[in-house]
Structure 1
Amino acid sequence: MNQHDVLPTAFAAPGTPAYDEATAVFNLAAPARPAAAVTVRTVDEVRAAVREAAGGDLPVRVHTTGHAAGSRPAVDGGLLIRTRLTGGVVVDPERRTARIPAGTTWGEVVAAAAPYGLTAPHGSAGHVGVVGYLLGGGVSFYGRHTGLAANSVRAVELVTADGTLVRADASNEPELLWALRGGGGGFGVVTAVEIALFPVARVVTGATYWPAAHAAPLLAAWRDWAATAPRRATTTLRVMNLPPVPGVPPFLAAGPVLCVDGAVLAGAPDEVEEAERRAAELLAPLRALAEPLMDTWAVTDAAGVLDAHMDPADPVPFVGDHLLLRELGDDTIEAFLGAVGPGSGSPLVVATLRQLGGAFADADPRGGVLNQVDAPFAYMGSGPPFGTVTPADLERHCSVVRAALDPWNAGTTVPSLVEGADRPQGHLAAAEVAAVDRVRARIDPRGRFAGDIAPGTTAAG
């Protein structure tokens, strides 16, 4: 668009409150600056926006919370649609499913499912949007039991480039449903998803923090436990350099710390004791190695899992990287701590190793193009430009960590864990990329949503 173009009345222009609302992102380091923006709250509003964009020959991008803003190319020009559809989460306790309008966050889903003794394979924070997380794979604290969260998706409702509302499920548009789950976007505006839920009675969850001076033996003990861990347990290990800001206890901001957090699922009341025992098998040896600075692990309800990771609730700028690891041997641990541990000079606020394996590695015959992850561990590292730390400093150190871990790099990623659009990424084989491209070409023949496609998921990109 240029200065002589006239925006449709439904679209907001830069400098207006409606534009600011529609373009707000969680990752402030990746601001969205489209030519026009609109927040949609009904399917009819979505259809009208898409049709008006087509009439003005505007490319279209879509987002909800903007947590993944840094993982996609910059939004320059065109129309950005922010989904905030009304209707609320509808749970069917008999079928153990939930229909979720686009724009819903995981906290809302957990709250809606809880009265029925059910929960979902959600992310680590309740304020993350459901749709982007699910269609990007989704690595949950329940994932070693449930597999990738994308495998829970039973149906997707979306408005395509011609304004048509389509429901893709096992009996109608199954090829589209397959491509949507992990295909990288660019198909249309998702208006709702239907997912499978699973039983939960209680969860043993929380986080334990130690001075990072004990990182090497703690990491090795965690790695050894992970080798035979039960599928109902999913954990992460983080090296953290927390800044002295409100909400961070001073003893955690006094220097680098190591944190082990996660969840052990008890699906039924008679499984709670077993879940407690499994959590103790992990934590007791670690607690014996060094005195924790803080320990929050406890038996709680499903909502407690959303608090365990203590992700920031307010938008922040951050720069990060992600890769999958083929193994986590002693030499890998040494390289990891050499790049992010005490004395490394790392500006990253958090460097995470996430335990995979279990159901993550199981191919789901009902799943989408991305339905499993073979690697046993995932690495993610990020930090905000804070104080004297610049975005360039963070980008350089992301490269330092990547080089240190390169001997064990599986060469693939999980889309929902990717932080930077310019970082190496990829999760589909060439034949899968080609198959997804064919679905896109059928659904969006003019490429209205081509700018909404994740890097590495189209042969044309």
Structure 2
Amino acid sequence: MSSNELDVPALRARLDGGLVLPGDPSWDDARQAWQLTVDQHPDAVVLAASAADVVAAVELARGAGLRVAAQGTGHNASPLGSLAGTVLIKTSGMRGVVIDPGAHTALVEAGALWADVTAAAAPYGLAGLAGTAADVGVVGYSLGGGLSWLARSRGLAANQVVAAEVVTADGVLRRVDADSDPDLFWAIRGGGGSFAVVTALEFRLVELGAPLGGTLFWPIERAAEVLHAWRGWTATLPDEVTSVGRLLRFPMMDEVPEPVRGRSFVVVELVSALDGGATDAALAPLRALGPVMDTVHPCTGAELAEIHMDPPGPMPGTGDGFLLDALPAEALDAFLSVVGPEADFPVLSAEIRHLGGALAPQPAAGGAVSGFDAAFAVFCVSITPVEAAVKATHRGLDALSEVMRPWSAPTGYLNFAERAGGAPFADPATLDRLGRVKAAYDPAGTIRGNHPVAPVPA
């Protein structure tokens, strides 16, 4: 279908924001995802400024036989696939944040970034379970689960959601929580964006305290030595420490700080909620390996978002990830055989995140995905400015997935799944229940998520 079938005058008349169509001067900017390698071609883009705009977009798209997809920043956009026959609702203009310091909650609009929440909550000593990059959208991140630097002690961000304002496929704006539309509320907490367009999210904040965080750097040639030491070290850690073992190959770009520009490292990144003495004691075995840089220090909430060193804006990148049941020595050797310093697959970043602790499944939390039945998470990404680089990265990712298959978990993590067709993000019973929720609220499949759930009739 084309945008000619959309009642454009009627939609424009109802919008507080804007409507952009193919051929308009701002079309290329409007349709762009954060992930610059994803070339999105929807039938129209609604630049939503309010929940009423979302209602109008859903009603008129459905009336024209079109589907809708919501996007805040456009992280993890690749699995959406073709947007033909789809109205793309951009919520990036809706960035309001209201903190209730007494209740320890935040109410955020659909386009809010974690940087917005961190800045608003910091004066009260509070924080959300933010992603490792400040410019990630709160809503998409939370719908996919949400893996923060405090995850091993605090669990997934989805578990902190207490209510959501959503527009369902019938064009109705609803507030859903444990008492109102409980099945829909269960589905959106970890089940992704297939069930409704979220216009606002309310979630609990945590007292940040005085965490220590930072990175230990070694030359990449020591990758095997350092990562094997880190692997053993994770088995000794209390839940208050969350860490990542990572290979980093910094490009020669002005955006990269001069001390690391064009250099390659094996690093251990970490955040500790222990006090300074206990953190130093925990770090002693790694520091004994003689890192060439050690940036661990007391962190504010904003500084936590700098540890992972994510690029400060949209980039042409290609990546993917999966979960591991375990990480024995032979699994780490297999990982290094594909992405290590002597491998033919020189990814920008290849990381293994330590899970466990409060990230174990939490039935009492009630969401579709409340934790991971896995011990570690893998994610790799390359800079891919041209199609040949994309294809080469996909070949490398496929090779890594194959060698790690003996230790791979049966389920995956939505926010690390950058390609369609990987491991399902939940067990069969959960996926079946999600399909029944989809059938109840959106039997025609009007609303598209980047990791789709098909309706399953009751």
RMSD across aligned C-alpha pairs, in angstroms? 2.1
Pick one of 423, 426, 432 that aligns with 2:424. Answer: 426
Match of 1:297 in 2: 296
Residues 62 and 254 (structure 1), Cα distance of their counterparts in 2 relative to 1, 3 Å cut? closer
Output the CA distance in 2 between the equivalents of 1:370 and 1:251. 40
Aligned mate of 2:212, from 193, 204, 219: 204
- Aligned residue for 1:132, secondary structure, equals helix
CA distance in 2, matches of 1:142, 1:437: 31
Distance 2:454 2:300 in 1: 38
Does the alignment pair 1:56 with 2:54?
no
Could you tell me which residue of structure 2 aligns to residue 162 of structure 1?
170
8 A Cα contact 2:115 2:135, kept in partner: yes
User: Partner of 2:400 in structure 1?
Assistant: 401
Tell which deviates more after alignment, 237-246 or 384-393: 384-393
Look up the equivalent residue of 1:287 and give its one-letter code: R
Which residues of structure 2 form unaligned runs of 5+? 13-18
CA distance in 1, matches of 2:322, 2:23: 38
Deviation at 1:237, TM superposition (A): 1.1
* Equivalent-residue separation in structure 2 for 1:90 and 1:377 (angstroms): 34
CA contact (8 A) 2:436 2:455 kept: no
CA distance in 2, matches of 1:454, 1:310: 26
Count of residues in Structure 1 that have an aligned counterpart in Structure 2 = 449
1:37 to partner: Cα distance:
0.8
- 8 Å Cα contact 2:244/2:269 also seen in 1: yes
Query: In 2, are the aligned partners of 1:214 and 1:290 still within 8 Å (CA)?
Result: no
2:23 maps to 1:15? yes
Distance apart, 1:455 and its partner CA:
4.4
User: Displacement, 1:51?
Assistant: 1.4
Distance 1:21 1:253, change over 3 A: closer
Query: What's the secondary structure of 1:390's corresponding residue?
Result: helix
In structure 2, the partner of 1:454 is 451
Moved more, 404-413 or 250-259: 250-259
Query: Structure 1, residues 94-127: CA drift from partner, whole Å, max 9, x if none?
Result: 2111111100000000111111111111100110
Q: How far is the alpha carbon of 1:254 from its aligned partner?
A: 4.7
Q: Is it true that 1:374 corresponds to 2:382 in the alignment?
A: no
Q: What secondary structure, in the 3-state scheme, does the structure 1 residue paired with 2:211 have?
A: strand
Distance 1:389 1:78 in 2: 28
Task: Give how far 1:139 is off.
Answer: 0.9
* Mapping of residues 334-373 of structure 1, within 5 Å: 334-373=333-372
Q: How many angstroms apart in 2 are the aligned matches of 1:28 and 1:363? A: 35
User: How far does residue 356 in structure 1 lie from its aligned partner after superposition?
Assistant: 0.4
Give yes or no for the alignment of 1:153 onto 2:161: yes
1:308 matched to 2:316: no
Task: Could you tell me which runs of 5 or more consecutive residues in structure 1 were left unpaired when the two chains were aligned.
Answer: 266-273
Partner of 1:288: 288
Amino acid at match of 1:83: T
Would the aligned equivalents of 1:150 and 1:367 in 2 still touch at CA under 8 Å?
Answer: no
Alignment correspondent of 1:444: 442
**Residue by residue, what CA displacement relative to the aligned partner does 1:136-174 show, whole Å, maximum 9, x if unpaired?**
011111000111111011111101122211111011111
Partner of 2:103: 95
Cα distance in 2, alignment partners of residues 456 and 356 from structure 1? 26
Q: Go from structure 1 to structure 2 and tell me whether the alpha carbon gap of 1:364 and 1:196 turns closer, same or farther (over 3 Å shift).
A: farther
Larger mean CA deviation between 346-355 and 253-262 belongs to 253-262
Write the letter of the residue equivalent to 1:247. E
Deviation at 1:411, TM superposition (A): 2.4
Residue 177 (structure 1) aligned to one of 171, 185, 192: 185
**3-state secondary structure, aligned to 1:439:** helix
- The one-letter code matched in structure 2 to 1:290 is G
Q: Secondary structure at the match of 1:79?
A: strand
- The structural deviation recorded for 1:4 is 5.3
Residue 432 of structure 1 aligns with an amino acid whose one-letter code is: T
Larger mean CA deviation between 133-142 and 242-251 belongs to 242-251
Matches of 1:455 and 1:114 in 2, distance apart? 35
Instruction: Give the secondary-structure state (helix, strand or coil) at the position aligned to 2:115.
Output: helix
- Superposed displacement of residue 70, structure 1: 1.7
Please tell me whether the aligned partners of residues 12 and 37 of structure 1 are also in contact (alpha carbons under 8 angstroms): yes
Matched position secondary structure for 1:28:
coil
Alignment match, 1:268: none
Seen in structure 2, the aligned counterparts of structure 1 residues 185 and 119 have a Cα distance that, compared at 3 Å, is same
Partner of 2:121: 113
* Paired position in structure 1 for 2:321: 322
Alpha-carbon contact 2:443-2:455 (below 8 Å) kept:
no
TM (norm. structure 2) is 0.93
Residue 216 to residue 260, structure 1, CA distance change in 2 (3 Å): same
